[in-house]
Structure 1
Amino acid sequence: EDIGLPLLPWQRYVMQDMLTIDKNKMFVRKTNLLLTSRQQGKSHLARMRILAGLFLFNERNHVVISSARSMALTTFREVAQAIEDAPILKKELKSIRYANGNEAIVLKSGARLDVRAATRDSPRGATADFLFIDELREVDQVAFAAAMPVTRARPNAQTLLASNAGDAFSVTLNELRERCLAHPPESLGYYEYSAPQFAALDDRKAWAMANPALGILVTEASIQEALTTQTTEQFRTETLCQWIDSLQSPWPHGSVEDASDINLKMAPGPLTVFAFDVSPSRRDASLVMGQLLPDGRIGVAVLDTYSSQVAVDELAIAASIKKWADMYYPRMVCYDKYTTASIAQRLQNAGVQTRDVSGQSFYTACSDFHDALVNDRLRHSGQDLLIQQMANCAAKITPDAWRIVRRKSAGPVDIPIGLAMVIHILAQPVSEAKVYV
């Protein structure tokens, strides 16, 4: 308040807990993780903590790191502006350097603030009483491992890590959050403002839970606009602070869950198609099936999965598929000639009818998959692995079509790839036999 930069109620709550001291006047919270939606004032909280360290706590070294150097520089400039605008602070200022790569604020007391990049080498050699890492979701494990030791040489040092929710690729953030949720030590401060994981996107109570500055910095109207203009994945991570598996999911929100039917039964007899696929690592593979149901919909399921620490056994996979084929008598077994041609060749030698669904055909297959899912023409039994791999999916989009991509997805997607193939075949018109007398 003295310098005209008051804290919001939620910021005051977090700051009071984060700055708790023990009987030896040492900080109880050594490492602090703050998670909330964007535009809530995370950077302002960090700025005020930096100013407190520089002018009140006699901390000598402060370091700011972000996944993008421009974001770290924004925090740096905000701190510099706050000092220059407040006479009570400016009189303690020695210099501010804005030179590219050498940005620093130095006080007459010797206390200073420096900017470092989130890289393997940038933080090395630095020592800090306070470390602020912004956008942790974008910081990789190598950069994080290099940054964290900078506070070890100072017995009363603190670290503040800030972010909104991430996806399956946010490994650093995800691992730290898991530790925070699993009975963390007293030295680990954890502050999360997020909507319940399965809250409806238009649930205004969920908006308030994920946006502690609602009504002050952001309005319901601005959130409504974000809901209209952002993708579902962006809205969930950036506005609701909800965790997702892939930021590029091709499936409409909730569509996979809506297609689940725990009573789905698929026995031998109806028109059936199989498909199989192998992951890029060659460590995982799966066999899926699809059937035309009596109501005209397509039922799908995972028949078998295969895994290995090194590489799956193609001979064993072919033998397994032949066993299932002898049980269900599929019209054909689909595959991708660029990844599984050798297995398909073994099946052909065993008398199993196969069909390649790759290249442009796979683009069409993915469109058929999406169309069946969103138009309520698809049913699955809710198998955990099927749902998880559907959540892993990422899409490659071209001006005319899209397809599931293996390497940019958040995990294995051999099951959805197989499902796209069987749906593509079963979605085609079925000829009916006619007898003319």
Structure 2
Amino acid sequence: MRDRLEQIAAADPEQADVLEIVPRLLEWQRWVLIHALELLDGPDLIFRFRTILLLVSRQNGKTVILIYLLLWRLFQDGARTIVGTAQSLDIAEEAWDAVRQVAEAIPELSNDVKKIRTANGRQAIILDTNQRYKIAAANRRGGRGLSGDHVVLDELREHQSWDSWASVSKTTLARKRAQVWGVSNAGDSLSVVLRHLRGVALAALGIDEMHDTPAGDVDDLVDEDGEELEVDIDESALGIFEYSAAPDAPMDDRDAWAQANPSMGHTIPEAAIAAALATDPEHVFLTEVMCRFVNTAASGPFPNRSWEATRAEKVTRDTDRPATYCVDTSWNRQMTHVALAFWDTDGRRRVEIAASRAGTEWVIPWLLSPERKIEPEFVTLQTRGAPVSSLVPDFENAGIELVEWGGPDLSRASGVIFDAVRRAVDEDAPEVVITHGNQPVLDLAATTAVMKPLSDGWTIDRQKSPQDAAPLLAVMGALWLLNTNPEPTGSAYDDEDAGVLVF
């Protein structure tokens, strides 16, 4: 294709501009395309990977890869429907417009084009065979009603909910030779979709890094309305192509720059990266230039990296010690979360979100369900002055006894969880005393929640937090109750000669 464009530009200098849109592929770009498009054995030419995750630092040529890929799938491979999305339509239009210009410049391609729609938000290239490449909005309605052979989700780091993924990626379910491409540089704590997909891929590869997100339980994922999402990711059909600096590499390590910038020395001058290092804030340089995941969406209530340091994928509950529940509702009452706290067999406290759904009506039936392995023997919530407080009469009617949580105990709960999480990055602390798993709904709350003063302490401000902070408040309440709850009858401490001090 590039050779043909050069011939056209040589014959007609007015067409020379298109050469800047599609430069020759660099070796790393060729390598990605060759291996991302590997085929399985068999006559149907099925792609080895149905989902491709491409991560590389900014300005390295991700869009160039997409242009070649999209042109090939539309004009040569025979994909019937291609859907391009990005959180900003301007970004999705960039690749689409480049494909349009190339198609119009090369007669062998333009002869196959029946129609090009350029109306904003309705852009589409339609061939004589009714194959088409269109742009869709990155929202819950973007892909509805479509069946796609190829889907591109550009700037995947900006997807802060599963809405777009749920609507657009599922357009490929009925197509045998379909692929979904997620393209991005590194994300932050709000990059829910990117972090989860990357975590699934890393877990399949046996990679477990503290700053990464291990694979979670996809059955626990919900959309913004609390509807359960079936994010069915077959790890054997997921290909990750990541160019990023080593986790422990210092920011001035030029070899690490090359790891995250495969175009360095070709289209990106090394001096430009050095200039960025001298001027960028640390989190900007790490994310944009070294393609490393950092927690920068907001400071949250905890010291930097401490929340990540308390992550542990699997623990075993100590069934001889109590477990506690806490319920909390978002400030706008859209979502309700049930947190669980318990002791593990290593003597650490564990906090998890056991359930997250829309509304409040489901909470008591869920707690009383015979499917609960942990009965609601110890349950708390803010009984006054909080959105969840309206549930108190319902709990009384259901016969669930609540432990009141409020007043000074709110700030005590804040101090308890802060001290426990802080220990993870305290060099003088002998060990980690609290853990949590990989749960985006909790991670978002823990790394973005805004604090507000409360008497001599602080608590979480639900309304001013940029994301739903109720999961964190639920965890705080469950942990507070776990700390104050007496050991149950029959525990290992019931020996009459044993002295027990309960904090």
| Worse-matched range after superposition: 51-60 or 242-251 | 242-251
**1:209 matched to which residue of 2?**
259
Q: After TM superposition, list the pairs within 5 Å mapping 1:246-325 onto structure 2.
A: 246-249=296-299, 283=339
Q: After TM superposition, list the pairs within 5 Å mapping 1:169-248 onto structure 2.
A: 169-183=190-204, 185-248=235-298
Q: After TM superposition, list the pairs within 5 Å mapping 1:54-203 onto structure 2.
A: 54-139=74-159, 140-183=161-204, 185-203=235-253
1:23 counterpart (42, 65, 88): 42
Question: Given the two structures, how large is their TM-score scaled by the length of structure 2?
Answer: 0.55
**1:341 matched to which residue of 2?**
407
Which amino acid is the alignment partner of residue 183 of structure 2? A
Provide Cα deviations, 1:78-101, integer angstroms capped at 9, x if missing partner.
111222233332233223211122
2:350 and 2:436 in contact (8 A); partners too = no
For the residues of structure 1 that align with 2:201 and 2:306, how far apart are their CA atoms?
30
For the residues of structure 2 that align with 1:97 and 1:14, how far apart are their CA atoms?
31
The verdict on how the C-alpha distance between 1:105 and 1:219 changes in structure 2, with shifts beyond 3 A counting, is same
The verdict on how the C-alpha distance between 1:256 and 1:137 changes in structure 2, with shifts beyond 3 A counting, is closer
2:450 and 2:460 in contact (8 A); partners too = yes
Per-residue deviation, 1:49: 0.7
The verdict on how the C-alpha distance between 1:383 and 1:61 changes in structure 2, with shifts beyond 3 A counting, is same
Gaps of 5+ in 2: 6-18, 205-233, 308-326, 330-336, 342-347, 355-366, 368-375, 382-404, 415-425, 452-458, 477-503
1:8 counterpart (8, 26, 39): 26
**1:274 matched to which residue of 2?**
none
Per-residue deviation, 1:341: 2.3
For the residues of structure 2 that align with 1:242 and 1:306, how far apart are their CA atoms?
27
The verdict on how the C-alpha distance between 1:111 and 1:202 changes in structure 2, with shifts beyond 3 A counting, is same
Provide Cα deviations, 1:202-259, integer angstroms capped at 9, x if missing partner.
11111111111111222222222322333222222221111223333389x98989xx
For the residues of structure 2 that align with 1:81 and 1:145, how far apart are their CA atoms?
31
Larger Rg: 1 or 2? 1
**1:335 matched to which residue of 2?**
none
**2:315 matched to which residue of 1?**
none
For the residues of structure 1 that align with 2:434 and 2:275, how far apart are their CA atoms?
35
For the residues of structure 1 that align with 2:352 and 2:65, how far apart are their CA atoms?
47
**1:53 matched to which residue of 2?**
73
For the residues of structure 2 that align with 1:279 and 1:378, how far apart are their CA atoms?
33
Which amino acid is the alignment partner of residue 297 of structure 2? L
Which amino acid is the alignment partner of residue 32 of structure 1? I
1:234 and 1:247 in contact (8 A); partners too = no
Which amino acid is the alignment partner of residue 175 of structure 2? R
The verdict on how the C-alpha distance between 1:51 and 1:385 changes in structure 2, with shifts beyond 3 A counting, is same
Q: Secondary structure at the match of 2:146?
A: coil
Question: Given the two structures, how large is their TM-score scaled by the length of structure 1?
Answer: 0.63
Provide Cα deviations, 1:269-326, integer angstroms capped at 9, x if missing partner.
xxxxxxxxx99879589xxxxxxxxxxxxxxxxx9898896998679xxxxxxxxxxx
Which amino acid is the alignment partner of residue 12 of structure 1? R
For the residues of structure 1 that align with 2:141 and 2:167, how far apart are their CA atoms?
7
2:62 and 2:183 in contact (8 A); partners too = yes
Which amino acid is the alignment partner of residue 18 of structure 1? A
For the residues of structure 2 that align with 1:157 and 1:308, how far apart are their CA atoms?
35
For the residues of structure 1 that align with 2:305 and 2:200, how far apart are their CA atoms?
31
Which amino acid is the alignment partner of residue 32 of structure 2? V
1:394 and 1:405 in contact (8 A); partners too = no
The verdict on how the C-alpha distance between 1:387 and 1:55 changes in structure 2, with shifts beyond 3 A counting, is closer
Q: Secondary structure at the match of 1:113?
A: strand
The verdict on how the C-alpha distance between 1:100 and 1:208 changes in structure 2, with shifts beyond 3 A counting, is same
The verdict on how the C-alpha distance between 1:79 and 1:194 changes in structure 2, with shifts beyond 3 A counting, is same
The verdict on how the C-alpha distance between 1:103 and 1:203 changes in structure 2, with shifts beyond 3 A counting, is same
RMSD of aligned alpha carbons: 4.5
For the residues of structure 2 that align with 1:91 and 1:9, how far apart are their CA atoms?
31
For the residues of structure 1 that align with 2:65 and 2:109, how far apart are their CA atoms?
18
2:81 and 2:131 in contact (8 A); partners too = yes
Per-residue deviation, 1:381: 5.4
Q: Secondary structure at the match of 1:26?
A: coil
Per-residue deviation, 1:145: 0.9
1:195 and 1:241 in contact (8 A); partners too = yes
Per-residue deviation, 1:135: 1.3
The verdict on how the C-alpha distance between 1:308 and 1:239 changes in structure 2, with shifts beyond 3 A counting, is closer
Number of corresponding residues: 335
Per-residue deviation, 1:172: 1.2
Provide Cα deviations, 1:336-391, integer angstroms capped at 9, x if missing partner.
xxx952438xxxxxxxxxx99x9xxxxxxxxxxxxxxxxxx996556465999999
Identity %: 33
2:140 and 2:163 in contact (8 A); partners too = yes
Per-residue deviation, 1:187: 2.4
Which amino acid is the alignment partner of residue 46 of structure 1? L
Provide Cα deviations, 1:104-151, integer angstroms capped at 9, x if missing partner.
112233221100011111210111211111111222212211111111
Q: Secondary structure at the match of 2:99?
A: helix
For the residues of structure 2 that align with 1:282 and 1:157, how far apart are their CA atoms?
38
Q: Secondary structure at the match of 2:144?
A: coil
Which amino acid is the alignment partner of residue 201 of structure 1? M
Q: After TM superposition, list the pairs within 5 Å mapping 1:366-405 onto structure 2.
A: 383=432, 385=434, 392-394=446-448
The verdict on how the C-alpha distance between 1:306 and 1:208 changes in structure 2, with shifts beyond 3 A counting, is closer
